Chains A and B, each alone.
Chain A
Amino acid sequence: MPYIDPHVHMVSRTTDDYARMAEAGCIAVTEPAFWAGFDRSSPAGFFDYFRQLTETEPKRAARYGIAHYCWLCINPKEAEDIGFAREVISLVPEFLDRPNVLGIGEIGLNKNSRNELVILEEQIALAKRFDRLILVHTPHLEDKLKGTRLIMDALKNAGVDPGRVLIDHVEEHTVAAVLDRGYWAGMTLYPDSKCTPQRAVDIIEQFGNERIWINSAGDWGQSDPLSVPKCHVEMRRRGHGADLVAKISLENPLAFLGQCPGFRPLG
């Protein structure tokens, strides 16, 4: 069944992963700008990263029939140094009109610090200024509940339309608030943190299938770029039909991402 993995860091994955994802039915990926596992030593490192996301990865994906889209920003883990972060943010506008760029992301918080919040607010303002979609990273583990609330408050204070924001990495303790406030919600399928495929299906069963999607967030750490089709298997073995799989992994991504005029993975 064709599907979209709306959050996966293919710069950290091998070409074999593109091949396996294509064999499993993946027709499109969207790749947020993120932390590379180390702090970059200069804004120039981000300039090259943005070139990789907008020039190299689309070509690599296309060899397997996968449409590649991306999001640009400075991630919250490298946002503590406000001066450094502002230099990176200043690079983003010149890339925004490239054909595979969807919007600003994954912005958010990591340790919920004051400086992270300042940079989050400035990147929300950037998205508003250029009328772009927003993809939000919520913090890890014990910091997620507080961070999710701070992020939603910052978005509300900025007057952002919740329907143009996807708040990612929701779990059982954050999903209700995200959906209740009108945002889209993403569930990330990881082996040890975030959601397992089983828990993601539990959440869909309890909170419904509107304004929600699943993603692998495959990257350089423990992760599985095939976790999305594995979650489809989990849906089917519980007796859910192909319509639910299509709703979560095709129709919902198409509806949210389709708000960006350049997002046309089906041609």
Chain B
Amino acid sequence: MTAPTCPLTGPQVVDLYFMEHRAKLIDVAAFLDRLDRTVAPGGHADVRVRALLRAIPLLVDGHGDRAQRILELLSDHTTAPIPAAHTQAALGADPATNY
């Protein structure tokens, strides 16, 4: 049982936040639909999309700490510094993980 640290009731949280997150959920669906309609394939194989699809089941697995667990799923879990930085940018998912 997750500790009750939010001062709002369940119905109050739904009233305050449902529409915002309904919109975000539909945005994810539309993003995946958009990938289906591209003039050239390849988007679904991208590590970022594979990571996103791996993360979605965590939303409904019945366990808490969903945000933390999704962030961990998307993270590099190695421990040693890399030999050199060849780019300054991050992807949003670990390119070395087999999602």
Give A contacts to B, CB under 8 Å: 35, 77, 80, 110-117, 139-146, 149-150, 171-173, 198-199, 202, 205-206, 237-240
In contact, B7 and A113 (Cβ under 8 angstroms) = no
Q: Is residue B98 contacting chain A, with contact meaning CB distance below 8 A? A: no
Residues of A within 8 A of B77 (CB): 145-146
Distance between A212 CB and nearest chain B CB, rounded to angstroms: 14
Distance between B7 CB and nearest chain A CB, rounded to angstroms: 4
Residues of B within 8 A of A144 (CB): 71, 75
Residues of B within 8 A of A239 (CB): 7-8
Chain A interface helix/strand/loop/mixed: helix
Q: A141-B74, A141-B91, A142-B76 are in contact. Are A238 and B83 (CB under 8 A)?
A: no
User: With the chains together, A110 CA to B87 CA distance in Å?
Assistant: 10
Q: Is residue B78 contacting chain A, with contact meaning CB distance below 8 A? A: yes
Chain B interface helix/strand/loop/mixed: loop
In contact, A77 and B82 (Cβ under 8 angstroms) = no
In contact, B67 and A238 (Cβ under 8 angstroms) = no
In contact, B85 and A140 (Cβ under 8 angstroms) = no
Give B contacts to A, CB under 8 Å: 3, 5-8, 16-17, 65, 67-68, 71-72, 74-79, 81-85, 87-95
Cβ-closest chain A residue relative to B3? A206
In contact, A112 and B90 (Cβ under 8 angstroms) = no
In contact, B82 and A114 (Cβ under 8 angstroms) = yes
Residues of B within 8 A of A141 (CB): 74, 90-93
Cβ-closest chain A residue relative to B93? A142
In contact, B7 and A240 (Cβ under 8 angstroms) = yes
Name the residue among B16, B81, B89, B94 with the largest chain A CB count within 10 angstroms. Answer: B81
In contact, B67 and A199 (Cβ under 8 angstroms) = yes
Q: A173-B68, A173-B72 are in contact. Are A205 and B92 (CB under 8 A)?
A: no
Cβ-closest chain A residue relative to B87? A111
User: With the chains together, A218 CA to B91 CA distance in Å?
Assistant: 21
